[in-house]
Structure 1
Amino acid sequence: METRSTSGGQRRGGRGARERILQAAATLFYEEGIHATGVARLVETAGVSTRTFYQHFPTKTALVEEYLRGYEAGLARRIEQKLTREGLTPRDQLLALFTMVAEASSGPAGGPSNRGCPLHNAAVEAAGQMPDIRALVQGNKEGIIRQLTDIAAQAGAADPERLGRQLAVLLEGATAMSTSLDSSRPRQDALDAARLLIELSLPKPQPTP
């Protein structure tokens, strides 16, 4: 059964409503901000009633958490696919992450954007107000550092923890600067800087016999 909204559009419940709400959240939270996006805007974009919204998400914060966890899971899959390409050495894997960031041209909803990392953006908006979301983001960023540190150790870095932290700062800084300047150039600059840092921090590759 469908019911018409007061704006003349159609609101639909039933199957697919949860997915439409999450799709609306991915677009609106990323492009317009979490605090700027109210429930009324979400239900209008998703084409559902307010009642349907709260049947799936008891609070807006619950929706924010699921949106971020979905993004985090998708990001982890993309990183895994990038790192497990055939023939990539640990040195190549470190640089591959920066190549992935440099080549990124869209936000979670698929449109072109320099809005940066959704997790970082959420942490900024959550400061002092959404502790669970801030903890979620912190866990993700710490995981990235551990992953970079582990790869740096496999690549033979003398101080893999230090290199992991430095590379994580470059990754985070690239996306934040891209947002501030509304430009993709900082991501390319980070790739160039990472290439130099990796070269200085790792043993020279042995020539192939």
Structure 2
Amino acid sequence: MEEYLRRFESEKSIAAEAELEREDLPPVQRLLGVFAPVGGDTALIRGCPFHNAVIEGVVGLPEVTRLAQRHKQAFRDRLAATAAEAGAAHPETLAGQLAVLFEGANALAASCNDPQAFTDARRAAEMLLDIALGAASGD
């Protein structure tokens, strides 16, 4: 399990998270890009491999738990950096909120095999971004 998770750190990234690294999009679009449904309407939604590893009972493998925690913190850090780049008033707070939306959408979509959770989360993320960016500009 450890080796499988380490591959996501070194060889390939999770598609939604890779959106944060795109240089062809402005920061707000990169933040919203993490909420794109994975694989289209007919794909089986499997969720985040790090989340799945922790909840599927690998409690006896502390290194797996550490890998998952480190990955989730790195994701929040990338969200915060992108939120700061977008000009959010409180990028760390916004990052935490977006992470909760993303993780919830990922879990619900995987549990129900329904990508609608990503659409709902994206709408909520748009509202949070409007508030955060409005606060930053003094609106």
TM-score by length of 1: 0.57
SS in 2 for 1:171: helix
Q: What amino acid is the match of 2:67?
A: L
How far apart, CA to CA, are the structure 2 residues paired with 1:198 and 1:84?
18
- Name the structure 2 match of 1:137: 68
Question: Where do 1:4-43 residues align within 5 Å?
Answer: none
User: How far off is 1:84 after superposition?
Assistant: 2.3
Tell me which residue corresponds to 1:105: 39
SS in structure 2 of the partner of residue 139 of structure 1 = helix
Counterpart of 1:122? Answer: 53
Q: What value does the CA root-mean-square deviation take over the aligned residues?
A: 2.5
- Contact 2:19–2:33, Cα closer than 8 Å, also in 1: no
Identity level (%):
37
Q: CA deviation digits over 1:82-108, x for unaligned, max 9?
A: 63242x222222112223xx2x128xx
The answer for the alignment partner of 2:5 in structure 1 is 68
Q: Where does structure 1 lack aligned partners over 5 or more consecutive residues?
A: 1-63
Between the two structures, name the one with larger relative contact order (CA 8 Å, sep ≥ 6): 2
Report the structure number with the largest CA radius of gyration. Answer: 1
Residues in 2 aligned to 1:184 and 1:154: alpha-carbon distance in whole angstroms:
28
Normalised TM-score (structure 2): 0.83
Give distance in 2, aligned partners of 1:85 and 1:190. Answer: 23
Distance in 2 separating the partners of 1:69 and 1:151: 24
Task: State whether structure 2 residue 31 is matched by structure 1 residue 94.
Answer: yes
Residue 85 (structure 2) aligned to one of 142, 145, 154: 154
| Letter paired with 1:139 | R
Unaligned runs of 5+ in 2: none
Instruction: Give a deviation string over 1:78-133, Cα, whole Å, max 9, x none.
Output: 744663242x222222112223xx2x128xxxx93122111101011245311100
